[in-house]
Amino acid sequence: MLGCRVFGSRNALLSRGSTARPAAPRRSDLMAPADRQDSSDQRENPDRIEPTLMAEPTDSAEANEPTDDRIESDVERVREPVSDRMRALSQPLRPRTSRGPACSRVNPVDPVWALRQIAFQLERSGAPTYRVRAFRRAAEVTSALPAGELSRRIADGSLQALAGIGPATAEVITQAVAGQDPEYLNKLLGGAEPAPASAMRDALHGDCHTHSTWSDGGSSPAEMAEAARDLGHEWIALTDHSPRLTVANGLSMERLLEQLELIGQLNVELAPFRILTGIEVDILEDGSLDQRQDLLARLDVVVASVHSKLRMPGREMTRRMITAVSNPHVDVLGHCTGRMIAGRGRPESEFDPERVFGACIEHGVAVEINCRPERQDPPDRLLRIAAEMGCLFSIDTDAHAPGQLDWIGSGCLRAEAMGIEPDRVINTRGADAVSARAF
């Protein structure tokens, strides 16, 4: 990860007045549909965000609250290059005085924004899920309070009596409402060096590969979209998993149709920002795809990825991948080797890159440059082959949480290092062009 941006514009949140807070997320958008199934499937899904990220605290708020020592470790984890754009957004934290005779004082920093910003920075740095959960849960609780109750609870000292609010999150809220810069957030944002300039990053309009609570992500589609918008994107593709990947709560046909309806509603609310409909569809052993063809035809973006039988012989894997990218509905070949370079690690799948990348060129399918730190897929030697052959590319975060959307910079730098120009990257196009496959 090189460089980061601030999630959520304070100006956007506060333009509705000093007392305005974002509306509480709708239940249907916040929670994954109820038909989550237990899985005996042993396929590995290392990208998964624990479902408890959005759950009620199991014991007390303090169990999930960061201590002073943990705050310091969070600060060290987040210390990395920060983009000039982020610095412009984050200095100063306190918004300007509102205009008009009724508002002559300095507005407080919006506490919901501050809590979500902390969660965003922790997510992008790979902080433990429970630590992120404390701040996202506190933001949900705070945003749902009736008008005036937050100030009353701060005044009478009962803020921590709310389930989901503990000492650290209460301190952030109290400092924000008082018009102070929350110390926790200041520590996370401070001390980083500017990120390297990237013409590729400046050219991107969107992200073709993201996940939500509808499969194995940690945040709702609305929250993912708002984070992408505030990072400067014009669109994202929501590509939750397909039904065979039960370990990731893959979407059945019925749930996919429900999600399409939700995306339509969100696009009205978020316009001109746009959520493209999509799926990360499993490539099955014979190369067929794990969803009905008529449904795939309705989607704006189809990312096809191998998640099972990763160790099959190279000749069979080559045939499997060629069959998949030959499908007329496939737009992107996702994380082509399946490798993991962190944790326990996982070796690359074996396949003939010239034949697979050649099939991608023949059928107009982009090769994904996956930006997840533990993937960085394809590895440099294969990325170089694809670049020299003339492939199209899609630089994607494969984000499972809002903060992970900021991982896109690493893929941009890798592409530039290989001499890949922006006109060969499909997410430098607008939403209409991507939807129409006008690559």
One-character DSSP codes across 366-388? EEEEE--TTT-BS-HHHHHHHHH
Q: Class of 199-435 per CATH?
A: alpha beta
Rounded to 10 degrees, the C-alpha dihedral 308/313/318/319 comes to -90
DSSP state of 308: S
**Cα 434 to Cα 205, 283, 325, distances in angstroms:** 10, 22, 17
DSSP character string of 417-428: HTT--GGGBGGG
d(Cα 248, Cα 22) in Å, to the nearest integer?
Answer: 29
State residue 127's pLDDT score: 86
* Cis geometry, peptide bond prior to residue 92 (ω within 30 degrees of 0): yes
d(Cα 407, Cα 17) in Å, to the nearest integer?
Answer: 32
State residue 65's pLDDT score: 62
Q: Where are the domains of the chain?
A: 10-189, 199-435
State residue 59's pLDDT score: 34
DSSP state of 51: G
Q: Is 136 exposed, middle or buried (0-12, 13-18, 19+ CB in 10 A)?
A: buried
d(Cα 94, Cα 86) in Å, to the nearest integer?
Answer: 15
Rounded to two decimals, what is the model's pTM?
0.78
Instruction: Please give the helix or strand (H or E) that residue 434 lies within, else none.
Output: helix 431-435
d(Cα 181, Cα 171) in Å, to the nearest integer?
Answer: 11
Phi, psi of 177, deg, nearest 5: -65, -30
| 2 close to 195: Cβ distance less than 8 angstroms | yes
Q: Is 294 exposed, middle or buried (0-12, 13-18, 19+ CB in 10 A)?
A: exposed
User: Both tokens of residue 217?
Assistant: 């992500």
Phi, psi of 48, deg, nearest 5: -65, 135
Helices (H) and strands (E) in the chain, counts: 19, 7
**Residue 66, Ramachandran bin (φ over 0: left; ψ between -120 and 50: alpha; else beta):** beta
| 371 close to 182: Cβ distance less than 8 angstroms | no
Helices assigned H by DSSP within 207-341:
221-230, 253-270, 293-298, 314-325
State residue 369's pLDDT score: 98
Q: Which residues of the chain have pLDDT under 70?
A: 1-108, 191-195
Give the residue carrying structure tokens 């401070």. Answer: 190
* Cis geometry, peptide bond prior to residue 108 (ω within 30 degrees of 0): no
DSSP state of 151: H
User: Both tokens of residue 144?
Assistant: 């749902």
State residue 288's pLDDT score: 98
Give the residue carrying structure tokens 């060629």. Answer: 322
State residue 17's pLDDT score: 28
**Spatial strand order in the sheet of 274-282:** 206-210, 235-238, 274-282, 301-305, 332-333, 366-370, 393-396
User: For the packed helices 221-230 and 253-270, what is the interaxial angle rounded to 10 degrees?
Assistant: 40
d(Cα 407, Cα 428) in Å, to the nearest integer?
Answer: 16
Q: What's the half-sphere exposure (Cβ side, CA atoms, 13 Å) at 404?
A: 26
